[in-house]
Amino acid sequence: MNERDLIEHIRLLTETDGAGLLLGIGDDCAVIEKDRETVWLLTMDTLIESVHFNCKWHPPELLGRKAVAVNISDIAAMGGRPLFALLSLGLPADFAEQWAKQLSYGISKACQQYGCLLIGGDTVCSPAGVSLTLTVIGEMQRNQVLYRDKAKPGDTIWVSGPLGWSAAGLALLQAGKTLADQQWQQLLLAHLDPQPRVQLGQFLASSGLVHAMMDMSDGLATDLAHICTRSKVGAWVEGDLLPGREALAAAGELLCQDPLRWLVSGGEDYELLFTASSANKAKLLELTTAQGWTVYPIGTIIEGQGVSLLNSGVQETISFDGFDHFKKGERSCTRTDAGSG
Ligand SMILES: [Mg+2]
């Protein structure tokens, strides 16, 4: 049973008709009615030592920031505004006080940065390593929520920033590179300190131009396949259009990796992936550029199913070729969005 099968199994066992529940399992957040015009967005993500992070190279302050960022990113994915956070922190009995203080500082600074109040949680003793689970609650206009299931054939597919940098950064950290090395800083920081696209997400939701949206945690191949499956459509992606390739070249050479694999399957980018009518391509570019954002068209939604990559004239199916916690032989040290991811 892989991760998708497990989530689907759980989903089929759950009631979907709760009071005020607009959407349960299957998107970046659960959506609950707040009042006639407004909804609550709820999401939860966990970071586990040795699965999602390695204390050897993850500075505690940045780890705290990342635990908040990956949750906030799911609120951004719907177009919402983060408001409250709950934290469950598991630490070994002999945790280092200074380390825990820096971790807490990172958590509180990130909450502050995104306008989110930490309102409660739990602290527990962990027999094996550090774990951080956050629940974030956001809100937004009910009629502006951007779901994964509204992509339409003919839509242009967009991403909000470079792909594969976090995966390349992780590979560099595993190869012993550090933040002290200027050359790799940009890629390492993409992994250690991701920046969720909260403002852009809200802007896109309020623009009324976007059909479907999610954040990218498991790699383009898997994340786009989620949009396609939920929307009952297929997708074409053009390899030459994927942003961020130049910055991956040197790392690819050093580590004998094809940068294309990072671009297509690398996880934890926390960029936004969205679709909008191709008729609005110029308008979307103009509006986002005027606000100082760069967004990149990378392909087209088509009738049918599956995600295909066209690279240097070669077509390849890449559906769900990203990260899966339970796939045989899957690499560790990256994360996913099980639950309401
Ligand atoms: Mg997500």
Please tell me the distance between residue 77's alpha carbon and the centre of ligand 1 in angstroms: 7
Please tell me the distance between residue 217's alpha carbon and the centre of ligand 1 in angstroms: 6
Looking at the DSSP bridge assignments, the partners of residue 49 are 53
* Assigned architecture for domain 155-317: Alpha-Beta Complex (3.90)
Contacts 24+ apart (CB under 8 A), 99-106: 99/55, 99/60, 100/60, 102/59, 102/60, 102/61, 102/64, 103/60, 103/61, 103/63, 103/64, 104/64, 105/61, 105/64, 106/60, 106/61, 106/62, 106/63, 106/64, 106/65, 106/66, 106/67, 106/68
Please tell me the distance between residue 317's alpha carbon and the centre of ligand 1 in angstroms: 22
Please tell me the distance between residue 162's alpha carbon and the centre of ligand 1 in angstroms: 17
Please tell me the distance between residue 216's alpha carbon and the centre of ligand 1 in angstroms: 6
Please tell me the distance between residue 4's alpha carbon and the centre of ligand 1 in angstroms: 14
**Taking the domains of the chain in order of start, what are their residue ranges?**
3-143, 155-317
Please tell me the distance between residue 81's alpha carbon and the centre of ligand 1 in angstroms: 15
Strands 306-311 and 234-238: parallel
Please tell me the distance between residue 97's alpha carbon and the centre of ligand 1 in angstroms: 32
Please tell me the distance between residue 178's alpha carbon and the centre of ligand 1 in angstroms: 28
Domains 3-143 and 155-317 share a fold: no
Measured CA to CA, the distance from residue 91 to residue 130 in angstroms comes to 5
Please tell me the distance between residue 180's alpha carbon and the centre of ligand 1 in angstroms: 31
**pLDDT the model gives residue 257:** 92
Please tell me the distance between residue 256's alpha carbon and the centre of ligand 1 in angstroms: 30
Please tell me the distance between residue 72's alpha carbon and the centre of ligand 1 in angstroms: 9
- Cβ–Cβ under 8 Å, residues 266 and 164: yes
Please tell me the distance between residue 213's alpha carbon and the centre of ligand 1 in angstroms: 10
Measured CA to CA, the distance from residue 317 to residue 312 in angstroms comes to 14
Measured CA to CA, the distance from residue 282 to residue 280 in angstroms comes to 6
Q: Which two tokens stand for residue 278?
A: 């191709």
Please tell me the distance between residue 246's alpha carbon and the centre of ligand 1 in angstroms: 26
**pLDDT the model gives residue 230:** 93
Please tell me the distance between residue 28's alpha carbon and the centre of ligand 1 in angstroms: 4
Reduce the DSSP state of residue 315 to 3 states and report it: strand
Look up the pTM and report it.
0.90
Domain 3-143, classified CATH 3.30.1330.10, yes or no: yes
Please tell me the distance between residue 338's alpha carbon and the centre of ligand 1 in angstroms: 9
Please tell me the distance between residue 63's alpha carbon and the centre of ligand 1 in angstroms: 18
Measured CA to CA, the distance from residue 75 to residue 196 in angstroms comes to 9
Distances in Å between the Cα of 90 and the Cα atoms of 44, 66, 152, 254 are: 15, 16, 43, 36
Q: What is the pLDDT along the chain (341 residues), one digit of tens a residue?
A: 887 788 888 888 887 777 789 988 888 999 999 999 999 999 999 989 988 888 889 999 999 999 999 999 999 999 999 999 999 999 999 999 999 999 999 999 999 999 999 999 899 999 889 999 999 999 999 999 999 999 999 999 999 999 999 999 999 999 999 999 999 999 999 999 999 999 999 999 999 999 999 999 999 999 999 999 999 999 999 999 999 999 999 999 999 999 999 999 999 999 999 999 999 999 999 999 999 999 999 999 999 999 999 988 888 888 776 655 555 544 443 443 333 44
**pLDDT the model gives residue 60:** 96
Please tell me the distance between residue 245's alpha carbon and the centre of ligand 1 in angstroms: 23
Please tell me the distance between residue 221's alpha carbon and the centre of ligand 1 in angstroms: 14
Please tell me the distance between residue 145's alpha carbon and the centre of ligand 1 in angstroms: 14
Tell me which residue of 189, 325, 341, 216 sits closest to 274, measured CA to CA. Answer: 216
Find where tokens 């131009």 sit. 209
Please tell me the distance between residue 253's alpha carbon and the centre of ligand 1 in angstroms: 31
Please tell me the distance between residue 271's alpha carbon and the centre of ligand 1 in angstroms: 10
Please tell me the distance between residue 91's alpha carbon and the centre of ligand 1 in angstroms: 26
